Amino acid sequence: MIPMTTAQICEAVQGVLYGDERTVVTGVSTDSRTIPGGAWFIPLAGERFDGHDYIDMALDRGAAGCFCAQLPEKVRDDKAYILVEDTKLALRDLAARYRDQFDIPIVQITGSMGKTTCKELLAGVLAQRYRTLKTPGNLNGDIGAPLTLLSLTPAHQAAVIETGMDEFGQIRYLGQAIRPDVAVITIIDDVHLSHFGSREDILRAKAEIFENLRPGGLAVLNGDDALLNTLHPDCVTVRCGTSPDCGVRIVDLEDLGLDGVRCTILTQKDSYPLDIPAPGIHMAALAALAVAAAERLGLTKEEIVRGVASYAPADNRLRIEHLPGSRIMINDSYNANPRSVQADIRILSQHRGGKKIAVLGDMTELGAAEAPGHRAVGRACGEAGIDVLLAVGLRSREHMVPAAREAGCPDVRWYPGREAAKKDLTALFAPGDAVLLKASHFFGRFDLMADYLREYPF
């Protein structure tokens, strides 16, 4: 972070300063336990805690000062306090003002699925020319996105910011700070239907990304998504996909199974032969979005091709991991929805040489799509020739398990939780077998199952 004075911070958030306006702040943090000296502490209120209770801890550990929605009973003379109505809003407003200091291309990405993968792909491509900041992990919400912006330094030449949402106004709220030059939407699907009434509502919420696009900015959309094709932003728009109507087209698509995907991306400017080192034909669509954005930002053909080839998945997102005894773990444990699980089942079905084992947990926040979504996944297991389904969770027991049995999956077992499935999984997981781990993050923490398998003494 470029150092700021408390006077500058106070003006950015329209707060009231108590303390020395010349105090220099060298960073920001929401964690009182790890805050570095000279940083600014931002206490956030959650369902189970209130960061205001930890202000003194943060100051004792060297924080220069803090935001606060109410002043502490004892105000220290050697520290600065800025009184604001909402500390989370102040974080966003501070990030917005800080962003003003950077005249670099910034890409904002949203969508129901594929946000993090698209972010990693595009950041890897841009890094072939530019020193590129990207959202760490999946810190794409009201806190993570502003903190990412506040980590910009003069060394950065581009940034890729991922933004998620679970309510109307959230993409707009984040966009007011990001103000992107390129806005990307990956796909619209039945994710967060428990928060929205329909896919059309999700589309409207995602379309808020265009409201803060900078003048002359570019919209990059999945042209194979019927709902996205109803959007007509008031800016230059590029649609990417297999359809002949797309300005950026995917051709010569070749599924290499667990080894990845090969395709060619055609634009009005050039042809890009891509080798994508990650499985799943959906990777071609995400690569096309990355190509369109990168081409707009001036990268050469060689840089784009090389950048896509260098792609490495983020943690717990469709990682092919090789375990002892030629066992293969398809670790896509971060999150799940019906479309992504079915895509992973197709990848698992391409395994040769041993059993195909799917360990699948409940998918949450689906709303009205909960029952049909779980049934569709169960049917996919039977139709794809999956040998064993280990299903976890009450939703899976009610909907996924019977659908898998009806579709002909030969071995279907159910467990109330992740721990209960471990014994059967390790007994079944023989040399040469492949196992898929997939569930909604907040349901089952299947990433811990992946840790368990890595450490298991096969």
50's tokens: 């209130």
Q: pLDDT at residue 234 above 70?
A: yes
- Residue indicated by tokens 């108590």: 18
Q: pLDDT at residue 108 above 90?
A: yes
- For the chain, percent of residues with pLDDT exceeding 70: 99
Q: How far is CA 173 from the centre of its chain?
A: 17
Residue 192: pLDDT band (50, 70, 90) is low
85's tokens: 């109505």
Report pLDDT digits (tens) over 136-179: 988 999 999 999 999 999 999 999 999 999 899 999 999 999 99
Residue 197: pLDDT band (50, 70, 90) is confident
What string of H, E and C letters represents the secondary structure of the chain? CCCEEHHHHHHHHCCEEECCCCCEECEEECCCCCCCCCEEECCCECCCCEHHHHHHHHHHCCCCEEEECCCCCCCCCCCEEEECCCHHHHHHHHHHHHHCCCCCCEEEEECCCCHHHHHHHHHHHHCCCCCEEECCCCCCCCCHHHHHHCCCCCCCCEEEEECCCCCCCHHHHHHHHHCCCEEEECCCCCCCCCCCCCHHHHHHHHHHHHHHCCCCCEEEEECCCCCHHHCCCCCEEEEEECCCCCCEEEEEEEECHHHCEEEEEECCCCEEEEEECCCCCHHHHHHHHHHHHHHHCCCCHHHHHHHHHCCCCCCCCCEEEEECCCEEEEECCCCCCHHHHHHHHHHHHCCCCCCEEEEEECCCCCHHHHHHHHHHHHHHHHHCCCCEEEEECHHHHHHHHHHHHHCCCCEEEEECCHHHHHHHHHHHCCCCCEEEEECCHHHHCHHHHHHHHHHCCC
Report pLDDT digits (tens) over 123-138: 999 999 999 999 998 8
Give the mean pLDDT of 250-254. 97
Cα atoms in the Cβ-side hemisphere of radius 13 Å centred on 329: 25
Q: pLDDT at residue 196 above 90?
A: no
Give the mean pLDDT of 353-372. 93
pTM recorded for the entire structure: 0.90
Give the mean pLDDT of 422-435. 97
Task: Judge whether 334 and 139 are in contact, CB under 8 Å.
Answer: no
Residue 314's pLDDT is 83
Report pLDDT digits (tens) over 44-92: 998 888 999 999 999 999 999 999 999 998 999 999 999 999 999 999 9
Residue 41's pLDDT is 98
Residue 281: pLDDT band (50, 70, 90) is very high
User: Range with the lowest mean pLDDT among 125-129, 316-320, 346-350, 429-433?
Assistant: 316-320
Residue 324's pLDDT is 97
| Domains observed in the chain | 4-86 (3.40.1390.10), 102-309 (3.40.1190.10), 319-455 (3.90.190.20)
**Residues near 24 by Cβ (< 8 Å), separated by ≥ 6?**
3, 4, 5, 38, 64
Distance CA 388, CA 409 (A): 7
Q: pLDDT at residue 371 above 90?
A: yes
